[in-house]
Structures are given as C-alpha cells and as structure tokens.
Amino acid sequence: MKLERHLPGTVERFGRYLLLRPLKPGQMGSLSLAFDARRRELVVLKRARDLSPDGLTRFAAETELSTKFDHPGLVRAFDSGQVNGTPYLAFPWIAGRDLESMVERAVKFEEHLELKVALEIVRQLALALDSAHRTPGLDFVHRDISPENVMVGFDGQVRLIDYGLAQSRVGRRVTRVGMAVGTRGFIAPDQVEGPSSRSDLYSLGAVLYFAVTGRPPSADALSSLASSGDLSVPAPVAMVLARALAADSSARFSDAGELAARLQDCAPASGDDVKATMARLFPGEARAVEEEHTQLAKEASASIGKPFLAWWAIVPLVLMSVAIGLRFTKNSPSPKAPSIPPLLTSTIDAAALIENRPIEKPADIHNVPLARTVSIARTTSPPRPSKEVAARLAEADQLAKMGSLARAREIYEQLSLDSAARPFVLVERAEVELGTGEYGQALAHASQSISSNGPTLRALKVRAQAELKLREKSRAASDLRRILQLAPHDDEARRWLQRLAPETP
C-alpha cells in the first residue's frame, strides 16, 4: 500500500476509517489520525479505551455532548457509532498545535508569548466556553480546561477540545463527591466539592497564567507574577488573573463572557495576531503539514478505490425491507405483477446487485419493499465520484481546512466541468463552505447540487444548515421536513425543526 511510505507497519481499517497514525491520547479514549472513506478526508478518530460500564457511560455522554455545540471554538463530532463493540467518535482534523506545545516552543526560543497574543488565545477560549455554558438544557461544565485541551490552529482559530470529563445533564454522574478530576495545576480548589461553571473560570484563569508565564500557577501565583523580573504584566491583566484565580468562587467573574470582555479591554488583538505567532514559532510547518496531509488523503483515497461504504447505507434498509416483505407476503397474497413506480437506472443497477441477477426494468424486481428501499438508498446517497475526482476533492478539502480557499476553489471549479462529477463536487464544496462560514455560497452550491442530482439527504442537510445560519427559517423548515420524509429517524433534523416550530407556519 502506498501509505506505507509514510507510515510504519500495516494501515489498520476501523469501520469506514483507515487508521493512519496514533495521536496524543484523550482523557477517555485513544486518538488517531484517520482517513474517512465516505467523506474522503482526514479526521481525528477517538476510540473508547475503558470498556467498563462506567467507562462506556462516560463515552456515551461525551458522544451526545459532542454533537450539541454550535460554535467555531467548540469541536463538534460529525460521526459516532461502534465497530466490533468499540465505541468511537469522529472529529474534523485541525491543522495546528495545542497551547502546551505552543508555549513550550516559545520557551525554547527563550521568550514568552507576546502578551496580546496570549490574551487573544484565552479570549477566544472564553467565548467558546461561554457558548458551551449557555447551551440550553445542558448545565455544561468542562472540568478539564488545560493547555493540552486548547488547540491553536495555524489559521489563528482557537478551539476547546476533549469533553471526556465534562459534566452535564447528559448521562448519569460517575465521579464520586469529594473526588476531583482534571489536570493537576488547573483544577479549581472548589471543584472537589462539586464542579460548576465558575470552577471552569478558575481553570481558564490558570490557562491564562500559563500562556503569559510559561508555567502553571502555584499557591503564590499572583505574587510571583507581580515580582517577576523578566516579565512585565500590566495592572489590568494582573487584576483579571487575580479575579479569575480567586479561591472564593463567588469572587470570580460572573461568566466566561465577562472574562472575555475584560481581556479584550486589556490588549485588543485578533486571530491574525495568533496566526502570525504560529507562523513565527513553527516556521514552514503549516505548509509542510498541509502538503503531508494532502498527500496522505490522496494516497488513502487511491488505496481504497471505490468506497467500501456503499452497502453500509443500503444493507440495514434492505434487511428491514426484507422482513417487511416477508410479513406482507405471509399475511396477504402477492400480486402477480406488482405496480412499481418508475425507478432511476442507478436504482435498477443497485437492485440487480442486491438480488444477484440481471434486471432490465422495474417490473423485474421481485420485492416491492426492496425496490422502495433501493430507491431511498439512491435518494439519500449521492453517486460516488471516480478515484481521480475523489483524490482531487480530498486535496481541495484539505486546502480549504488549511485556509487556502482560493486554491481549493480553483480545484472545485475544474472538477465542476465534469458533468458526471458535478453534483457530488457541488455538495462537497457546499459542506466546506458551510464549515468556513461562507453560508451564502454553501446555500447556492447545495441548491445547485439538488437541481442537478435531486434532493439527496446530504445536500438537503447542508442547505438546511446554511438557511438556518442565514435566518431563512421558512425555507429551512421546508428542507428539514423533506429530510424527515427521506430519513424519518434523523433526530438532529427533528430537533432543528422543533426549535423552528414556534417561528414557522
């Protein structure tokens, strides 16, 4: 396999994913850089390590939490499930380094992070945490805000990761009262008695102290900060630290949003300042990582060839339809010539594969429920591109994630010239644009994909999300209803529609 040029040993397959290399382990699972054969892109795969009842309970809670958030600073899982009894979560791959590595690199250069950059990193982090704390119905507490759980992207975006120790209304409590979990040096003293949003604020202050000084706060952190001869900290920053690290939780900031506002007042900065610092501390690494991961994605895509997931979308539906068909046959006589509505050629081809015999027209299909199942599978699963197109799409997606949007658009435009690939390219492009905040473009390209290829479930979901972001609520509600017609058990679409119900007819 070509990937062996980059990786030692044999590349392991885990469900729809190829495991390329291990990453730093998370609190509740092992992390791997993986290739997603369905999305044709690199991802981070988290697999449960602790398969005890308590371990599985924690992982299940993390799984549900990981799909709740809608903020650019909160990493959101896009897939979850089990393979051979091992639960997993799949997250977008982030090009960057954790804050711990960033500060260590600065110390190696015998310097500290520029003050305004340290404040901007924690300001972004505070805004993300504030969004999580305010998520309705969760009562979310992260409990492990530490430098290694803060990802700083080469694009300047800061993200909070790893919800393995989080506490919320999701799942049951597994940590005993009087026991504190988290990372030593970043745990609030009151967290032993019971974590709260204000214990997260203490951890946030500890991360700020680490970003400014290069070390975790000690018992005399504030006095050390004030007396340090090699570091000048303005009085407003010292006041923020003093309040965030207050032993009495009631003396801390009221919420993470207030802390973020104070940091903005201290030294205004932006993600561009963070991006420039990452480029200085890791010269050439962003480009090298981009090239390496683009190559890995291309080779993984080529090594797989035709996606091995096509049956994953069809087989469960087929089994269900066969059961329905048998029950129908048992309870009522089968018509000699069932009336089946006209089907697309690709649907007839799929039915031929399932029944393992030539099928030339819809009337040749034996089982009516089976024909309907295949029709649904065709409607919910867009046609797959060729190996060459898939490899180019993987390259474009990686470029977009690295911030090279202009280069990614050039590839999308070139691939769109192929009429056979165009519907798939359009929905791929729309997904990327949705992730980069280009909601108008995402809406336009998802709509074009639907016009070219019909209302596939994937394209409808992208369009509905774009419409929600653009506050086109009536159109979003219409698309969500169409999604539920195609996939009645899509809980996410149902939740979105329920939220819109009071505002739409």
| Cα(139)–Cα(438) distance, integer angstroms | 31
* Token representation of residue 250: 């009631």
3-state helix/strand/coil string of 237-304: HHHHHHHHCCCCHHHCCCCHHHHHHHHHHHCCCCHHHHHHHHHHHCCCHHHHHHHHHHHHHHHHHHHH
Listing from the earlier edge strand, what are the strands of the sheet with 158-160?
A: 96-98, 150-153, 158-160
| Cα(431)–Cα(425) distance, integer angstroms | 10
Is 74 within 8 Å of 341 (Cβ atoms)? Answer: no
* Token representation of residue 271: 């993600």
Angle between helices 457-469 and 439-453 (to 10 degrees): 150
Catalytic residue among 144, 155, 162, 255: 144
Helix (H, G, I), strand (E, B) or coil at 360: coil
Residue 103: how many other CB atoms lie within 10 Å: 25
Contacts of 177 by beta carbon, 8 Å cutoff, 6+ apart: 193, 194
- Active site includes 144? yes
According to DSSP, the residues that pair with 150 across neighbouring strands are: 160
Is 390 within 8 Å of 301 (Cβ atoms)? Answer: yes
The catalytic residues are 144
